[in-house]
Structure 1
Amino acid sequence: MSERLVVVHPDAEAVAAGAAARLLTLLLDRQSVSATTHIALTGGTVGIALLAHVAQSPLVAAVDWTGVHLWWGDERFLPEGDGDRNEVQAHKALLDSLTHLPSENVHTMPAARDGLSVEHAALEYTQELAQWAPEGSTVPPFDLILLGMGPDAHVASLFPNHPDALTAGMGAIPVHNSPKPPALRVSLTFETIASSDQVWIVAAGAEKAAAVSAGLSGSDPVNTPVSAARGRSRTLWLVDAAAAGEAQPA
């Protein structure tokens, strides 16, 4: 049975620092039993701060980065090098400092370029996911998918009441008319997220308290997408006191 835990930190900085420590511990634990780990990263203020804390930790040198594969939960369909892309921010915060991380282990979602539609970008990522999938699956054996959450309870680029959110049968999907700019994005699907052994949701700020409460109460995923973000063995909510509101650790 899948386990759900809520960990409340005093503020956003503590959420990022705590999540970074947990991520490094998870990587070291997994590498004691497996040569390869697959992690999907998230963007956003807390998600990028998390990566910066990883870069600053002395434990970062203990990880065998040659065996770590990094993916993304979603990405803005913008030109390569655009500062609003999650992968650009992730490189600045952490990846550029990981000299032992092979470039082929960094699975960036396609950037916008001439002749490439967002539909084909999602298809390219779906195909890359499939290349690393074990027999009988269409996605890699994710050890962890990290997710931020918006005040509207969206995760990745799966927004409430949005026609793209419930797409099934693909590892990644194109997102049109995103209610949060930019309008075009690529996102992992709910199915891909649910395939991960663990899913961690990081959130901070009082403006997210209602979404945290709705997600923990199991509200309809159509209205509250974060409700569908669950790992196979563990779902971990890492939130600050303001976002937790009246939610209690469980």
Structure 2
Amino acid sequence: MSDAAISANITWADHADAVAVAAHLAAAIERQGARLLAVPGGSTPVAIFDKLSTMDLPWSELSLILTDDRIVAKDHEASNFGKLTKAFADSDAKLIDLTEGMTPPRADLVWVGMGADGHIASLFPTMKAPVQGDEASPLVVRTVPDPLPPEAPFERLSLNMAALIDTNAIIIVVRGADKKTILEQAIKEEHDLPIAKLIKAASCPITIFWSES
């Protein structure tokens, strides 16, 4: 895909706070009939989850699946599934747990964050993971960041790149000037970090929600 084609595929949102992201997700559900959302883990999504969970949406028809999770007990403080369960406890949404090697249903919308190293979901620039890309590759893989981050020293489960881009729409939610630089470089194909691979491979519209903090 050329730089021009990549740029044409991308929209930078005017507002990127939790209310704006939640409103975008709700509009996608109402306008496009999105019924399965793939959502990220970590701390950034929690405020957005809190806003989204209060909205009047067809929750009984909605399913949520994580893009990735740490391989820990569900009641562990590092469990993304635990955070998701807590955030949507009062809704009728179906929550789909990741298991290694599973074939998850196709998401209508995929929401990813991005680390300072350009990683998305739990696909890291340097990691131990099965070979991906052929038809036999599982869509949910076990990954081990290399080196393991001291703040979260756990093996992970992650949707692979094929699963992340097989969707109708992608949103990227990031904070900080350094991450904006990485994103801009990814769009220009100035590096091949995971975020750049996602942007280059995706054929669906991508909306970027970036803010300074």
TM-score by length of 1: 0.72
User: What is the CA distance between 1:8 and its match in structure 2?
Assistant: 4.8
* SS of residue matched to 1:187: strand
Change (3 A) 1:159 1:232: same
Matching residue within 28, 31, 48 for 1:29? 31
1:204 has 2:175 as partner? yes
Amino acid at match of 1:182: P
Residues 142 and 158 in structure 2, CA contact (< 8 A), matched pair in contact too: yes
Partner of 2:13: 7
Measured after TM superposition, the shift of residue 190 of structure 1 is 0.5
Q: Is contact 1:16-1:46 (8 Å) kept?
A: no
Q: Equivalent residue for 2:117? A: 152
Deviation at 1:177, TM superposition (A): 4.0
Match of 1:173 in 2: 141
Residues 1:96 and 2:89 aligned together: yes
Q: Quick one: which amino acid aligns to residue 182 of structure 2?
A: A
Task: Return the alpha-carbon distance in structure 1 between the equivalents of residues 132 and 190 of structure 2.
Answer: 19
Q: How many residues get paired? A: 199
Aligned to 1:153, what secondary structure does the other structure show?
Answer: coil
Structure 2 unmatched ranges of 5 or more? none
Aligned residue identity for 1:229: L
Q: Give the corresponding residue for 1:16.
A: 18
Please, what is the CA RMSD of the aligned residues? 2.2
Corresponding residue of 1:184 = 155
Indicate how the Cα distance of structure 1 residues 165 and 237 shifts in structure 2: closer, same or farther if over 3 A, else same.
farther
Q: Which consecutive residues of structure 1, in runs of 5 or more, have no partner in the other structure?
A: 110-120, 130-139, 244-250
Matched, 1:40 2:38: yes
Alignment partners' CA distance in 2, 1:207 and 1:49: 22
Distance 1:215 1:183 in 2: 27
Change (3 A) 1:90 1:173: same
TM-score, normalised by the number of residues in structure 2: 0.83
